[in-house]
Amino acid sequence: MSQDKDAQIRARAHALWEAEGKPHGRDALHWDQATRELDGSAAAPQDAAEESAQDAIDVIEDAKTAVAAKARKKK
């Protein structure tokens, strides 16, 4: 992969990460999505909607885990 393409993917993945509220542990998903977008092979609208819904579920699950860990720490 050329350095220019790599830099474009990195910048887009970073933008996706920021747009999602900077969630932890989703770097590979952001990288893959950025790669697909820049290659022009982004998912079809239905696939994108399903992927967005799954992303939202993942973010909620991550938040639940963080809250539970914080609650355990307080005890």
What is the chain's percent helix, strand, coil content, to nearest 5?
80, 0, 20
CA dihedral 17, 28, 49, 62 (to 10 degrees): -70
The token duo for 54 is 């799954």
What are the sequence ranges of the domains in the chain?
A: 3-74
- The pLDDT, as a whole number, for residue 45 is 53
Decide which of 75 and 37 is more confident: 37
- The pLDDT, as a whole number, for residue 14 is 93
Answer whether 0.75 is exceeded by the pTM: no
* CA atoms within a 13 Å half-sphere pointing along the CA-CB vector of 50: 5
How far, in Å, are 3, 12, 15, 44, 60 from residue 54 at the CA level? 31, 20, 19, 15, 10
